[in-house]
């Protein structure tokens, strides 16, 4: 691909997208922060005090990946899994011993297991805005034993309630943006941008039960002509229910549309549109802070791929 305008190469594209996402996030934070201050003022014009939450939102993940497939998934943790899956494919991919010409050789990969831990430092700067950033370490097993656990990527992100229902008729609108970049020294430099917009409609004043609907878009840029990963889009509907003892269950059912991937210019991983299911069980405190969580996900890619995630946040400061 030739240079684009002003001598910029195609490799500048991920950086422009990251900068654009950062500018958008800053604008959103400015607008929400302004409205938050106004909403927190009392009759004397004094802002209500706020003590931020600061914690390591540890997420320990395990997934299975069928042979000859590629998985992205649903949720803020999915881009981290993408890099782990890509690493597994590059390490384990094999070619037929004697491909028959003129048929193109087919890239094949064995079934694999992946394990990774996300360590994002998270700051809830208000009840509407959370900022996070950290690293991911991963290991994989494609049949010959587990690889060593290595830091494979870093990530930065923001989650913000653009609008809160607060007893009204219009649902809460939540935006989450995560930028993930492979760690220095990785076989391929990969940048992913994951955007999620979710609508939540509460059915009671305490918001202990309600409906959900959302969409996720994941863009993965590989800084090499050897690999290309097309966009992934997930749409879903679901609901949640929180019991008086502060256990909360959330279920989402949707459809994932993956544009396909091509590695080493061989026959690509074909595009697919398949179902996806995600179930969350969380233990909350009285202030709606997560104390523990477990997530189970089944994604057909097109064969079933299973992911289990344990969330064990370590609070440094809790509101």
* Selection from 6, 53, 81 nearest residue 288 by Cα: 53
Q: Alpha-carbon distance 81 to 85, whole Å?
A: 6
Residue 64, domain member (yes or no): yes
Q: Alpha-carbon distance 143 to 94, whole Å?
A: 13
Give me the CATH number covering residue 275.
Answer: 2.40.160.40
Note whether 199 and 214 are within 8 A (CB).
Answer: yes
For CA atoms 80, 82, 85, 90, the dihedral sign is negative
Average pLDDT taken over every residue of the chain: 78
pLDDT at residue 5 in the model: 40
Residue 302, domain member (yes or no): yes
Report, as an integer, the average pLDDT of 80-100.
47
Lowest-confidence segment of 2-6, 51-55, 217-221, 250-254 by average pLDDT = 2-6
Lowest-confidence segment of 3-7, 83-87, 154-158, 291-295 by average pLDDT = 3-7
Q: Alpha-carbon distance 247 to 293, whole Å?
A: 10
Asked if residue 51 has pLDDT above 70, the reply is: yes
Strand ranges in 183-244 using DSSP code E only, listed in sequence order: 190-202, 209-222, 227-229, 232-242
Residue 99 confidence class, pLDDT cut points 50, 70, 90 = very low
Note whether 230 and 217 are within 8 A (CB).
Answer: no
Note whether 261 and 268 are within 8 A (CB).
Answer: yes
Report, as an integer, the average pLDDT of 10-37.
47
Half-sphere exposure of 183 (CA within 13 A, CB side): 14
Residue 183 confidence class, pLDDT cut points 50, 70, 90 = confident
Residue 25, domain member (yes or no): yes
Higher local confidence (pLDDT), 98 or 83? 83
pLDDT at residue 75 in the model: 67
Residue 111 confidence class, pLDDT cut points 50, 70, 90 = confident
Q: Give the chain's domain count.
A: 1
Q: What percent of the chain has pLDDT over 90?
A: 44
Q: Alpha-carbon distance 69 to 19, whole Å?
A: 31
Residue 251, domain member (yes or no): yes
Residue 93 confidence class, pLDDT cut points 50, 70, 90 = very low
Residue 7, domain member (yes or no): no
Residue 5, domain member (yes or no): no
What residues make up the domain containing 102? 12-317
Higher local confidence (pLDDT), 79 or 180? 180
């Amino acid at each position: 691909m030739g240079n684009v305008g002003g001598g910029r190469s195609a490799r500048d594209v991920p950086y422009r997208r990251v900068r654009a996402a950062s500018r958008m996030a800053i604008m959103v934070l400015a607008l929400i922060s302004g409205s938050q201050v106004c909403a927190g003022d009392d009759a004397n014009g004094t802002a209500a005090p706020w003590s931020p939450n600061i914690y390591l939102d540890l997420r320990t993940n395990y997934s299975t990946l069928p042979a000859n497939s590629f998985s992205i998934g649903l949720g803020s943790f999915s881009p981290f899994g993408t890099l782990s899956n890509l690493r597994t494919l590059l390490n384990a991919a094999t070619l037929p011993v004697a491909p028959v010409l003129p048929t193109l050789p087919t890239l094949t990969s064995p079934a694999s297991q992946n394990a990774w831990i996300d360590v994002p430092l998270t700051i809830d700067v208000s009840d509407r805005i959370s900022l996070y950033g950290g690293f991911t370490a991963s290991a994989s097993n494609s049949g010959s034993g587990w690889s060593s656990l290595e830091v494979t990527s870093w990530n930065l992100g923001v989650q913000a309630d653009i609008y809160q229902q607060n007893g009204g008729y219009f649902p809460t609108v939540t935006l989450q943006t995560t930028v993930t970049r492979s760690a220095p020294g990785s076989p391929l430099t990969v940048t992913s941008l994951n955007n999620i917009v979710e609508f939540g409609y509460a059915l009671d004043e305490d918001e202990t039960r309600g409906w959900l609907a959302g969409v996720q878009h994941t863009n993965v840029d590989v800084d090499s002509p050897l690999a290309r990963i097309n966009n992934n889009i997930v749409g879903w509907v679901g609901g949640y229910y929180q019991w008086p003892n502060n256990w909360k269950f959330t279920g989402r059912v949707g459809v994932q549309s993956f544009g396909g991937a091509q590695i080493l210019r061989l026959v690509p991983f074909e595009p697919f549109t398949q179902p996806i299911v995600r179930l969350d069980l969380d233990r909350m405190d009285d202030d709606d802070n997560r104390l523990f969580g477990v997530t189970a996900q089944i994604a057909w890619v097109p064969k079933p791929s299973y992911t289990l995630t344990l969330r064990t946040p370590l609070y440094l400061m809790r509101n």
